[in-house]
Structure 1
Amino acid sequence: MRNALLLCFLSLLCTCVSAQTIELTGRVVEGSGQPVEFATVKVIEPDGGNMITGTTTDTDGRFKLAAPRPDVQLEISFLGFAPVLIEDIEGTDLNNIVMRPDGETLDEVIVTSERSTTEFKLDKRVFNVGKDLSSAGASALEVLNNVPSVTVTIEGQINLRGSGGVQILIDGKPSVLANDGGNALGTITADMIESVEVITNPSAKYEAEGTAGIINIVMKKDERKGTNGSVTLNTGIPNNHSLGLSLNRRTTKFNLFSQLGVGYRTFPEEYEGINRDLTSGTTVNSSGESDKNENFYNLILGTDYHINDLNVLTLSGNFAYEIEEENADTDFMVLDNAGNLTDAWRRTESTEAVNPKWQYELNYKRQFDAADKDHALIISALGRSFVKDQSSEFTTNTSEGTARFGDQRTSTDFGETNYTFKADYTRPVNEMVTIETGLQYVYSDVGNDFETSNLVGTEFVPDADLTNRFEYDQGVLGAYATTAYEGVRWGVKAGLRVEQTELNTLLVNTGETNDQSFVDFFPSLHSSYKISEAASIQAGYSRRIFRPRLWDLNPFFNIRDNFNVRAGNPDLQPEYTDSYEVTAILIVGQLSLNAGVYHRYTTDVVERVSFFEDNVNVTTPINLGSSSSNGVELNGKFRPAKWMTLSGDFNFNYFDRTAELDGVSYDFTADQLNGRLVSKFELPMDIDLELAGNLRSGYETVQGRVTGYTFADLGIRKKVLKGKMVLNMSVRDLFASRIRESIANQPTFYVYDYSQRGRFVTLGLSYGFGKGEAMEFSGQKRH
């Protein structure tokens, strides 16, 4: 009897709960009564704002959705309008819900806010983007600049732990929108981003090729529907002129994106050099100036096709065309052992080149369960090509004695093609355990045909010693598997990646070959522990590889300065690194602090070494011993007031080098410090001011030293028309103090090298149209 009553009670309870499910309808309009299409409508919990379900309005501003019970809240949001929160839902037909532009509120609605947060996952840190960053006009670059360990310069260069070698992914995959320092990232606005993942020590899931780290931008779904775009115009000193057009159209099924950019830039440089033969006492001094002028044209086209709720197909392409002109004048002086001038001449260079580039990407993503977005299969194919057709003329004018080198010509025919095929499968076993596995194949085919001709009489005759055709191809097949457990406070993730490398090089002129085939294992292990809501700790280990690239392998001679030649080494072997790190994060109020220690041990270190003979310095990469590196990283962000944000990144590295060359020991210990301090001020009249100071300390090398320097950047940005237009000015290297000096000081020779680019000033204007904001196209060329 008791069981029967209990059964009846449960049945009645279920019926009552089911009966409380209500269907909500309504229409979202502007103050003028015009419909707001594609506005986001969310049913949320009243005690925390967690979303239960949601939808978007149609072209007439109408929506319809089912709420599980009447005691919920309704939140309506759309870019450029203040969010509307309805706390007490009366009835099922909400009629017209009026939205006001940002800054205006109604008595009957409440504007809510959400603070951005940072949390640790097993092998990464996740920065959840809140509405405090989704202000009108904010771009993905501004979001990244708020992420711990990440800094973005005013020109859009992205650095991780002070290093620029960062791989940018969007939704876990390469994308033309994530290439080349932020051009296309300007088309992504903050309200489109769900979170940013920072991976400083990648797991076995990622390609083992060494990088500074990975930043993955996770996009929101079903947001920013409609048409939006931007037109940008930049001008600067030295020449930095560009025009950019961005256009996006998103519907329920399609997301179409495009970008067109044209520009003209100049890169001036001053340089000096000293080559001193300590055996004979002779010295060659050189000094000169050069300017590199570039015209560039970029076109990006792509679309995301949402086949249904579980399947998405993405196709995108990028074509770029560059025209380069470079002019240089270099003065040479030869001094004998008494310091007397014996020879002097000026060498003038005129170089022209065209560089067509293209890239395409096809990506397919399948989710197996709408309720479990992590159970997915992703298959992608990516192709890239880069071609360079370059010719140079060198003219020599002698003013004293005899010039060492006469008139010469060079020509370069270079081509590189890369293909990447990848498949990743993720399967959550339960709420705590996840398995990942995948395959990847990367193929590179490169050829470089270089010829040097000397003027003999009235004709140019090819120089066999300075002419070569070098061919290089490499295929890397990788497979990985990882298993992760993630509980409420503690988690662990272990993985193994196997990569087989096939490398073949051919120096056509001599028939010299270097064929390599090897298999490597790359384990990884990560763990994290959540001490409290404000503090977490993370530890990780991974094994990485650096494979020599074309210019490391090709015995190529650059003859602008015949006394300082850079050449490759076809016998170069890869270097391997074991990387360990422990990182902690602490968030207290407006202070976010990250501190970490790391250790890296590298074998077969690839190091450029100088070989000196008859005042000619040839630098060639060789495998030279091992390096043990220990470092401390500290970065933090602090907002002492609503109008001020301070952030800093500091990295101290102490390394122990063990090296031996030709029976001579080059063992030494040294340290290096890199730092960056940024102050951002939100001034009245929607003006942002940014000041950044940078420090790069000097460091020892196996044969000498590279000196340090400090420099400052300045940026001013003003938003007008409620974020539709952005005016900005940036000054890079404000005091023209970014100077590079290197010294190689050995018992038989002394080599000094100096170079400086100088100050760059840029003025820009960006205007957003349609439903978009100003996209802040940076005007940078694409590499």
Structure 2
Amino acid sequence: MKTLTTALLSVITWAVTLTNANAQAGVKVSGSITNEAGKPADYATVSLLRQKDSTVVKGGLSDADGNYIFPNIKAGSYMIRVTNVGYQKALSAVFTVGGADVKVAAIKMVPASKALSGVTITGTRPLIERKIDRTVLNVENSVLAAGNSAMDILERAPGVTIDKDDNISLKGKQGVTVMINDKLTYLSAAQLATLLRSTDGNTITSVEIITNPSAKYDAAGNSGIINIKLKKNKQSGTNGNISATAAKGAYYRDNTSLSLNHKEGALNFFGNFSRGDNKRTHLLDIDRTVIGTTSNTYFSQSGNMINTNHYNNYRVGADWDMSSKNTLGVVVSGYYNPERDSTYNHTLIGTQPGVFSTYQNTFSGVPQVYRNFALNLNDKWQIDTAGQQLSVDLDYSKFKNSSNAQYDTYIYNANGTSASTPIMLRNQSPSVIDIKTAKADYTKPLTKTLKLEAGVKFSDVKTDNDLAAQRNTASGYVNDATLTNHFIYQEKIDAGYVNFSKSFKNTSIQAGLRAEYTQSMGDLVTTNNVVNRSYLDLFPSLFVNQTIDKNNEIGFNYSRRIDRPGYDNLNPFIFYLDQYTYSQGNPFLKPQYTNSFELNYTFKHTVNVSLGYSRTTDVITQVLLTDTARKATFQTNQNLRVQNAYNFNVNTPYTVTKWWTGNLNFTAFYLGFKSGSEATGTTLSNGVLNAGKVAYQVKATQTFAITKTFKAEVMGDYQSPLIYGYFLVHPQYAIDGGLSKSFADKKLNVKLSVSDIFNMRTNNVTSIAQGSTIDIHQKNDSRVARLTLTYNFGNSKIKARQHETGADAERNRVKTGN
């Protein structure tokens, strides 16, 4: 590990040397804060007080290592005051500022429950919290999180929407990167949806929404990053919790989870396991017209899909404090998720609207299994007490997905007699995905107000998809060469970044640059069609924050980002709903690039207003096309020329009374799409596109503290109609509610909640494809009542070290299920 450390230090020595040569230090007051165990007290509120009258001169927060700095302090006598939730207020001794920097002795925080006999001080974070660079949804103690999955929780996050195909959008834009504990998941939209639905909400502490990430993060994700933080523990000893949920939608559901943590001396062990049974319905109606050369064909289709999913997720690990400065860790995680999709489709077919000459019934059964194993080795070396540190991650992930599908279609005349021989198809589609990554991150404070961050990352991904299809004949099932193919995709990315951050009296600036060199090869083995690409990209970022006075703060940020196609979107396999409806990947998809700008304003650290603009080129967009020869409609992805997006967001918490608080989030946005060349605006296979629409989204949350141990929450949201590419998305709205009651000194918690109380949430879209109108009406099993029991045992203050692996971006692009 030290060899790797030495190598990285030599790579970035030039940056340290050049910057130190120009660094200038002023008169500063600095120090550190620890908790009762001697560990850094992060994000405590620190105030510099004038000694003669105790007035606040400056204020701020301690960083992740418990350090704080106040630059440009005038001569005089001062004290430091520190406050933090759950701790007694602490004051330093009086000190004098003259012509030299002052290092204040370390301040130790004392838990409030220990300082006051018989009294325990507790603090509750607001459900929605706005920080400088991100919005945080604190769901750990939320009534609405109990028994819900991570996917359910995301649907309630400010500015987040989830479409009919489980694609996640942020402020109207798709291309969101999802991380778990700061680690990329490398999954496709469908696979990510399965993982999020199998992640118990009781294991989640918060959801962070980062609209414009810095160069330190992978450049993927044109809309930003959503980071799901899982629960952790703090001090020596043993603790854990067990949770069980029973739910009722169209069918009964259940889930249970167990978390355990143990820390003794230099060793810390942690783990969690969750399992659940989730059966739900999905109603789908499609009305469409296929334009022919001499006549049109009209289809009216209705279907019901029943998805039965049983999930098992695990995560275990250990940290070893090899010394006071070096921590070695290992994390093993994975899942085993078998499921079955059973679908019935009834399709009326005719040459005149409302007059049908034939109809067909299609029955399909798709049993599938999703498996994942992931291993992470990590080392964090605290090089010195000034904040210089190096962290290294080595990751390996393997996904094995298997599917065996059977499609039986029976065709009838209008009078109910058989019109032709039934069509019976079956296929097997195993896929294997291997992901290897290595990354190293280095941090060095060059002065008390200037910091350098630098790092490198290497990733190697290989996906292997082999589809075998057979058609039933008089002599039995025989191979169908038109539906059989083998697709292999390989991708290597070499990346490096450097970030500089500088603090002035009322201004902070961060500037960074990330470089990524990508080599990819898509090999359609069946037809010997190979697509090779290699490209080098630079991704700059800039953040400026200005404190006007104690009540007003403004900021500006800019970043350039990339979205590479999901692995399943590149796969040209054909997946059938019936012979007239299917989806197909596109191996010729190119990556899309986005330049994002954002202005934001904060009033009294509570009311937040932002105004943003982004421009995406070669935007990857879902389209519905028509195969006129087969009279079939199929879904695929294509690159449109450009997407222009404008957004305006206001987020404000408020207090009606001491027992009634709330949060209001309003987002207005415009999405404009253009296809074809700059000159013509045409050339896409389904016609000219130059479309856009102003839309808005409102989410409101009310929290009622009925007693100290009994509370209620109500959340409502509404999204207006919007245009996304070729789709007009119709309005969506719902109301959720819940109650929570604690017992046994808050060790036992009972929560009752109902999502979509009035069963109003739908997902309806209209598409114009090659002159044909396609109306899609969808209704998911959205009204679900849940009863959750959670019991916490052991030392409630134990924490396992949270750690970000290096393989999260790649895993975000892998399919894990539906």
TM-score normalised over the length of structure 1? 0.78
Determine the structure 1 residue equivalent to 2:330. Answer: 315
Determine the structure 1 residue equivalent to 2:661. Answer: 645
The one-letter amino acid of 2:159's match is R
The one-letter amino acid of 1:631's match is N
Find the aligned partners of 2:230 and 2:345 in 1 and give their Cα distance. Answer: 50
Deviations 1:192-220 (A, max 9, x none): xxxx9763211111110015434679999
3-state DSSP of counterpart to 2:568: helix
User: Does 1:213 find its partner at 2:224?
Assistant: yes
Determine the structure 2 residue equivalent to 1:303. Answer: 318
Q: Following TM superposition, by how much is the alpha carbon of 1:307 offset from its aligned partner in structure 2, in angstroms? A: 1.6
Deviations 1:267-286 (A, max 9, x none): 21111112212442321221
Q: Following TM superposition, by how much is the alpha carbon of 1:707 offset from its aligned partner in structure 2, in angstroms? A: 1.3
User: Does 1:332 find its partner at 2:347?
Assistant: yes
Question: Equivalent of 2:745, from 716, 722, 732?
Answer: 722
Find the aligned partners of 1:579 and 1:87 in 2 and give their Cα distance. Answer: 43
The one-letter amino acid of 1:501's match is T
User: Does 1:384 find its partner at 2:407?
Assistant: no
The one-letter amino acid of 1:161's match is G
The one-letter amino acid of 2:786's match is T
Question: Equivalent of 2:364, from 315, 335, 349?
Answer: 349
Find the aligned partners of 2:765 and 2:302 in 1 and give their Cα distance. Answer: 15
3-state DSSP of counterpart to 2:573: coil
3-state DSSP of counterpart to 1:369: coil
CA contact 2:177–2:220 (8 Å) conserved in 1: no
Question: Equivalent of 2:703, from 672, 680, 699?
Answer: 680
Deviations 1:645-672 (A, max 9, x none): 2112222111332223437532123222
CA contact 2:204–2:229 (8 Å) conserved in 1: no
Find the aligned partners of 2:449 and 2:225 in 1 and give their Cα distance. Answer: 24
- Structure 2 unmatched runs, 5+: 1-35, 63-77, 94-109, 162-167, 169-175, 187-191, 677-681, 800-814
Bigger radius of gyration: 1
Q: Which of structures 1 and 2 has the larger relative contact order (alpha carbons within 8 angstroms, sep 6+)?
A: 2
Deviations 1:568-618 (A, max 9, x none): 111111111100001111127xxx111000010111111222321143112
Evaluate the alpha carbon distance shift between residue 361 and residue 185 of structure 1 in structure 2; reply closer, same or farther with a 3 A threshold.
Answer: farther
Question: Equivalent of 1:264, from 235, 258, 277?
Answer: 277
Evaluate the alpha carbon distance shift between residue 697 and residue 455 of structure 1 in structure 2; reply closer, same or farther with a 3 A threshold.
Answer: same
Determine the structure 1 residue equivalent to 2:253. Answer: 240
Question: Equivalent of 2:157, from 150, 159, 162?
Answer: 159
Question: Equivalent of 2:716, from 680, 687, 693?
Answer: 693
CA contact 1:230–1:774 (8 Å) conserved in 2: no
Determine the structure 1 residue equivalent to 2:789. Answer: 765
User: Does 1:734 find its partner at 2:748?
Assistant: no
Find the aligned partners of 2:466 and 2:585 in 1 and give their Cα distance. Answer: 14
Determine the structure 2 residue equivalent to 1:629. Answer: 645
Give 1:74-223 correspondences, 5 Å limit: 106=117, 124-125=133-134, 140=140, 142=142, 155=153, 159=157, 161-163=159-161, 164=168, 165=176, 167-168=178-179, 170=181, 180=196, 183=199, 186=202, 199-210=210-221, 212-214=223-225, 223=234
CA contact 2:308–2:340 (8 Å) conserved in 1: yes
The one-letter amino acid of 2:405's match is S
Determine the structure 1 residue equivalent to 2:550. Answer: 533
User: Does 1:492 find its partner at 2:509?
Assistant: yes
Evaluate the alpha carbon distance shift between residue 189 and residue 353 of structure 1 in structure 2; reply closer, same or farther with a 3 A threshold.
Answer: closer
Q: Following TM superposition, by how much is the alpha carbon of 1:114 offset from its aligned partner in structure 2, in angstroms? A: 10
Deviations 1:41-99 (A, max 9, x none): 999999799999xxxxxxxxxxxxxxxxxx9999999x9xx86789999xxxxxxxx99
Find the aligned partners of 2:92 and 2:653 in 1 and give their Cα distance. Answer: 38
Q: Following TM superposition, by how much is the alpha carbon of 1:310 offset from its aligned partner in structure 2, in angstroms? A: 1.0
Among all aligned residue pairs of Structure 1 and Structure 2, give the percentage whose two residues are the same amino acid. Answer: 23
TM-score normalised over the length of structure 2? 0.75
Deviations 1:285-312 (A, max 9, x none): 2112111111112222111212222111
The one-letter amino acid of 2:502's match is Y
Find the aligned partners of 1:76 and 1:255 in 2 and give their Cα distance. Answer: 28
CA contact 1:283–1:615 (8 Å) conserved in 2: no
The one-letter amino acid of 1:159's match is A
The one-letter amino acid of 1:554's match is N
Question: Equivalent of 2:530, from 492, 498, 513?
Answer: 513
Question: Equivalent of 1:562, from 576, 579, 594?
Answer: 579
Q: Following TM superposition, by how much is the alpha carbon of 1:488 offset from its aligned partner in structure 2, in angstroms? A: 2.5
User: Does 1:754 find its partner at 2:767?
Assistant: no
Q: Following TM superposition, by how much is the alpha carbon of 1:720 offset from its aligned partner in structure 2, in angstroms? A: 1.2
User: Does 1:662 find its partner at 2:678?
Assistant: no
User: Does 1:587 find its partner at 2:604?
Assistant: yes
Deviations 1:303-342 (A, max 9, x none): 1212222111121111311111221111121112264322
Find the aligned partners of 2:90 and 2:219 in 1 and give their Cα distance. Answer: 50
Q: Following TM superposition, by how much is the alpha carbon of 1:223 offset from its aligned partner in structure 2, in angstroms? A: 3.6
User: Does 1:479 find its partner at 2:496?
Assistant: yes
User: Does 1:231 find its partner at 2:255?
Assistant: no
User: Does 1:360 find its partner at 2:375?
Assistant: yes
Find the aligned partners of 1:621 and 1:51 in 2 and give their Cα distance. Answer: 46
User: Does 1:413 find its partner at 2:434?
Assistant: no
The one-letter amino acid of 2:756's match is D
CA contact 2:200–2:257 (8 Å) conserved in 1: no
Deviations 1:434-474 (A, max 9, x none): 11111011221111111221110141112111111111111
The one-letter amino acid of 1:693's match is G
Find the aligned partners of 1:555 and 1:510 in 2 and give their Cα distance. Answer: 11
Find the aligned partners of 1:283 and 1:269 in 2 and give their Cα distance. Answer: 23
Deviations 1:711-762 (A, max 9, x none): 1222222111121011112222222222112222356422221211131222
Evaluate the alpha carbon distance shift between residue 736 and residue 210 of structure 1 in structure 2; reply closer, same or farther with a 3 A threshold.
Answer: same
Evaluate the alpha carbon distance shift between residue 40 and residue 629 of structure 1 in structure 2; reply closer, same or farther with a 3 A threshold.
Answer: closer
Of 744-753 and 494-503, the range deviating more from structure 2:
744-753
Find the aligned partners of 1:499 and 1:88 in 2 and give their Cα distance. Answer: 47
The one-letter amino acid of 1:380's match is D
User: Does 1:433 find its partner at 2:446?
Assistant: no
Evaluate the alpha carbon distance shift between residue 580 and residue 295 of structure 1 in structure 2; reply closer, same or farther with a 3 A threshold.
Answer: same
CA contact 1:155–1:730 (8 Å) conserved in 2: no
Evaluate the alpha carbon distance shift between residue 414 and residue 118 of structure 1 in structure 2; reply closer, same or farther with a 3 A threshold.
Answer: closer
Of 445-454 and 500-509, the range deviating more from structure 2:
445-454
3-state DSSP of counterpart to 1:552: helix
Count of aligned positions: 684
3-state DSSP of counterpart to 2:796: coil
Determine the structure 1 residue equivalent to 2:306. Answer: 291
User: Does 1:620 find its partner at 2:636?
Assistant: yes
CA contact 1:73–1:85 (8 Å) conserved in 2: no
CA contact 1:598–1:631 (8 Å) conserved in 2: yes
CA contact 2:284–2:779 (8 Å) conserved in 1: yes
Of 180-189 and 721-730, the range deviating more from structure 2:
180-189
Find the aligned partners of 1:158 and 1:782 in 2 and give their Cα distance. Answer: 22
3-state DSSP of counterpart to 1:551: helix
Find the aligned partners of 1:470 and 1:112 in 2 and give their Cα distance. Answer: 56
Find the aligned partners of 1:606 and 1:491 in 2 and give their Cα distance. Answer: 35
Of 557-566 and 158-167, the range deviating more from structure 2:
158-167
The one-letter amino acid of 1:694's match is D
Evaluate the alpha carbon distance shift between residue 769 and residue 599 of structure 1 in structure 2; reply closer, same or farther with a 3 A threshold.
Answer: same
